[in-house]
Chains A and B, each alone.
Chain A
């Protein structure tokens, strides 16, 4: 019987929609999300720990750390369960928003949804009487749009956050004064979850000057003057400061708030080619401006033979560079270079030119970022509307020989209810 089948299907679909839009489902999802986030915010999350901290954690709690990892609690936010919660919330919020919108349309059509409080026999003096009519008098109707807007805003945030996490670029790099970034290879250190970027970048960025002022090991000022050239564009000078990222197309460059000193060298290869070489040294913030030697040990492979370098850079007005290089356990070079002096390392020559400060920078891009903040605005504005405006309706209708005054208001409209009670008690 086709009619029976259609009816049955309709009822099933309606029941399914009601389940998806159900406040009970919302409560369950919110409860699960709350538990997941509490665990993520309280238990050690391995991705947030440095290698040393991770080792210490594994050694101190071998059994617990093992079980947390097995249960997916050592990286809660990357688990499939957490992603599933996101998706389930989107479905529930979307269905809930649709149900709210249905209420809104019903209200504007003159109907009153069931969840409204119906107060009959309202005093004419309570509010100025509306014109008699089908729709009566409405006030604060926009308040009804508050919750759908708020829920829609949250959907926008979650969807945009999911899109952003799949499309996001996040890469750290270091630039010394005078150095240019034009290639991704070997220069950009991609963050976990970032999309790949290789080869030539569509811009060239040069750090012209770095301004660093420290006070008690903390930044008092951190600014960089940079030259920027986008593909096919003219060279332009910009200032990069904390809280003021540099926009390059759809990407932004930020100051990463770590600085140091670089040794600047000219490397002469066996074929006579000369190349600029920068070796960055981290300088503790509390030592910024002092001329204490900065050390760095490095092993590099030349012609399949590892060469161990022990380096000490002394910045300041009279910089120097101390280098000990060993190849197969035999010393290749051991000495101190002043600016202009050359070390012969066998495979190439290294000329020390001087020192330059370097800054850590961060390149990020995410197309959906503006949607995330639009979602925030929508959600907050919607909820503020819900709290500030109180939808009320008065309607006068004929009943027998007399008139009946009907009033509707939301359950939490305590001001309206209070006035009504005051009138009733005074009558």
Chain B
């Protein structure tokens, strides 16, 4: 077992320990839970910084790196949001679980360095990939609020508005990711859109978020019914990012996620 596996497994364990403390719903355990998550985040950040330094290129190309960065974004966004809005702490049950699972799943992928070809040596890759990670972070946080709300773990008059806002941020970041990818494709391949399976599913995820955001404007759909429906775009987001390449060939698989 290598040092990286030990450190990464340790970070996942910290996140999962924080989940267990949050699960208890005891106020006195909330602070230690956040402290554990923050400690994990600091080591997680250090691990990625070390990899960046070690491989000499930004670590966003392989599936291992993608999962590790996405997990970091989820935890980073969760810590920032719960700091401003402590009543949303229970959203960490999903956010920290997903981050822990992501880090663990990353360990099952190849950790070798994937040399960046000419098509990947552009700032648009960094923008595109970071927006993707941010969107997944915002989407996970929104889904965490929806689930905690549905489970009765968050009960605040502002919860419906906050849940809607977070879903709207996930939509905006996902749309920006799609736009950045489209512009990059126009520079690299001379086509801004090709209805490739990943492009199609990204667009479908965008449509699904637009659908639930419009649905929220209907008076009958502003409560928990809406929160149930709003979990579908998040599931699509996860499938588009992590699942689709397992079952379909795509141009993304030729260049990334080896």
> Is A362 a contact partner of B190 (Cβ separation < 8 A)?
yes
For B176, what are the chain A residues with a Cβ–Cβ distance below 8 Å? 380
- Give residues of chain B (193-237) contacting chain A, Cβ–Cβ below 8 Å: 193, 195-197, 199-201, 203-204, 207-208, 210-211, 214-215, 217-218
In the assembled complex, the CB of B190 is this many whole angstroms from the nearest CB of chain A, namely 4
Closest to B122 in A: A243
Q: Provide the bound-state CA to CA distance between A330 and B186, in Å.
A: 50
Closest to A27 in B: B214
Closest to B158 in A: A414
Q: Provide the bound-state CA to CA distance between A220 and B116, in Å.
A: 7
For B122, what are the chain A residues with a Cβ–Cβ distance below 8 Å? 243
Instruction: List 17 other contacts, CB 8 Å, given A215-B115, A257-B119.
Output: A23-B214, A27-B214, A30-B210, A34-B211, A37-B200, A42-B248, A219-B117, A243-B118, A245-B187, A362-B189, A373-B183, A380-B172, A380-B175, A380-B179, A383-B168, A414-B162, A418-B158
Q: Is B161 close to A, CB under 8 A? A: yes
Q: Provide the bound-state CA to CA distance between A33 and B209, in Å.
A: 12
Q: B: which residues have CB within 8 A of A?
A: 115, 117-119, 121-122, 124, 157-158, 161-162, 164-165, 168-169, 171-172, 175-176, 179, 182-184, 186-193, 195-197, 199-201, 203-204, 207-208, 210-211, 214-215, 217-218, 248
In the assembled complex, the CB of B6 is this many whole angstroms from the nearest CB of chain A, namely 29
For B158, what are the chain A residues with a Cβ–Cβ distance below 8 Å? 414, 417-418
In the assembled complex, the CB of A325 is this many whole angstroms from the nearest CB of chain B, namely 38
In the assembled complex, the CB of B231 is this many whole angstroms from the nearest CB of chain A, namely 15
Chain B CB within 10 A, most for which of A41, A215, A376, A421: A41
Closest to A75 in B: B195
Q: Provide the bound-state CA to CA distance between A111 and B208, in Å.
A: 34
Q: Is A122 close to B, CB under 8 A? A: no
> Is A243 a contact partner of B175 (Cβ separation < 8 A)?
no
Q: Is A411 close to B, CB under 8 A? A: yes
Closest to B159 in A: A414
In the assembled complex, the CB of B163 is this many whole angstroms from the nearest CB of chain A, namely 10
Q: Is A307 close to B, CB under 8 A? A: no
Q: Is A86 close to B, CB under 8 A? A: no
For A411, what are the chain B residues with a Cβ–Cβ distance below 8 Å? 161
> Is A364 a contact partner of B168 (Cβ separation < 8 A)?
no
For A38, what are the chain B residues with a Cβ–Cβ distance below 8 Å? 200-201, 204
For A27, what are the chain B residues with a Cβ–Cβ distance below 8 Å? 211, 214-215, 218
Q: Provide the bound-state CA to CA distance between A221 and B119, in Å.
A: 9
For B190, what are the chain A residues with a Cβ–Cβ distance below 8 Å? 170, 245, 252, 254, 362, 364
Given contacts A41-B197, A244-B187, contact A387 B165 (CB under 8 A): yes
Partner of B204, one of A34, A223, A257: A34
> Is B117 a contact partner of A412 (Cβ separation < 8 A)?
no
> Is B118 a contact partner of A219 (Cβ separation < 8 A)?
yes
- Give residues of chain A (22-57) contacting chain B, Cβ–Cβ below 8 Å: 23-24, 26-27, 30-31, 33-34, 37-38, 40-42, 45, 48
For B215, what are the chain A residues with a Cβ–Cβ distance below 8 Å? 27
For B201, what are the chain A residues with a Cβ–Cβ distance below 8 Å? 37-38, 41
Partner of B169, one of A34, A40, A387: A387
In the assembled complex, the CB of B11 is this many whole angstroms from the nearest CB of chain A, namely 31
* 16 A–B pairs (Cβ distance < 8 Å), ordered by A: A23-B218, A34-B204, A34-B207, A37-B204, A41-B195, A41-B200, A41-B203, A45-B195, A215-B115, A220-B117, A243-B119, A243-B184, A362-B190, A369-B186, A373-B179, A414-B162
Closest to A215 in B: B115
For B168, what are the chain A residues with a Cβ–Cβ distance below 8 Å? 383, 386-387
In the assembled complex, the CB of B221 is this many whole angstroms from the nearest CB of chain A, namely 10
> Is A383 a contact partner of B195 (Cβ separation < 8 A)?
no
For A376-417 the 0/1 string (1 means CB < 8 A from B) is: 110110011011000000000000000000000001111001
For A3-35 the 0/1 string (1 means CB < 8 A from B) is: 000000000000000000001101100110110
- Give residues of chain A (335-363) contacting chain B, Cβ–Cβ below 8 Å: 362
For B210, what are the chain A residues with a Cβ–Cβ distance below 8 Å? 30
Q: Provide the bound-state CA to CA distance between A24 and B214, in Å.
A: 9
Q: Is A142 close to B, CB under 8 A? A: no
Chain B CB within 10 A, most for which of A40, A45, A421: A40
For B192, what are the chain A residues with a Cβ–Cβ distance below 8 Å? 369, 372-373
For B191, what are the chain A residues with a Cβ–Cβ distance below 8 Å? 170, 364
> Is B121 a contact partner of A30 (Cβ separation < 8 A)?
no
For A223, what are the chain B residues with a Cβ–Cβ distance below 8 Å? 118
Q: Provide the bound-state CA to CA distance between A77 and B211, in Å.
A: 20
- Give residues of chain A (71-129) contacting chain B, Cβ–Cβ below 8 Å: 77
For A245, what are the chain B residues with a Cβ–Cβ distance below 8 Å? 187, 190
For A243, what are the chain B residues with a Cβ–Cβ distance below 8 Å? 118-119, 121-122, 124, 184, 187-188
For A421, what are the chain B residues with a Cβ–Cβ distance below 8 Å? 157
> Is A23 a contact partner of B217 (Cβ separation < 8 A)?
yes
The 10 tightest CB contacts between A and B, nearest first, are: A41-B200, A242-B118, A414-B161, A364-B190, A34-B207, A376-B179, A254-B190, A414-B158, A37-B204, A30-B211
Closest to B201 in A: A41
Q: Is A222 close to B, CB under 8 A? A: yes
Q: Provide the bound-state CA to CA distance between A63 and B191, in Å.
A: 34
> Is B214 a contact partner of A30 (Cβ separation < 8 A)?
yes
Closest to A53 in B: B249
Q: Is A241 close to B, CB under 8 A? A: yes
For B124, what are the chain A residues with a Cβ–Cβ distance below 8 Å? 243
> Is A254 a contact partner of B195 (Cβ separation < 8 A)?
no
For A201-224 the 0/1 string (1 means CB < 8 A from B) is: 000000000000001101111110
Partner of A414, one of B165, B179, B203, B207: B165
Q: Provide the bound-state CA to CA distance between A417 and B161, in Å.
A: 10
Q: Provide the bound-state CA to CA distance between A411 and B157, in Å.
A: 12
In the assembled complex, the CB of B205 is this many whole angstroms from the nearest CB of chain A, namely 9
For A417, what are the chain B residues with a Cβ–Cβ distance below 8 Å? 157-158, 161
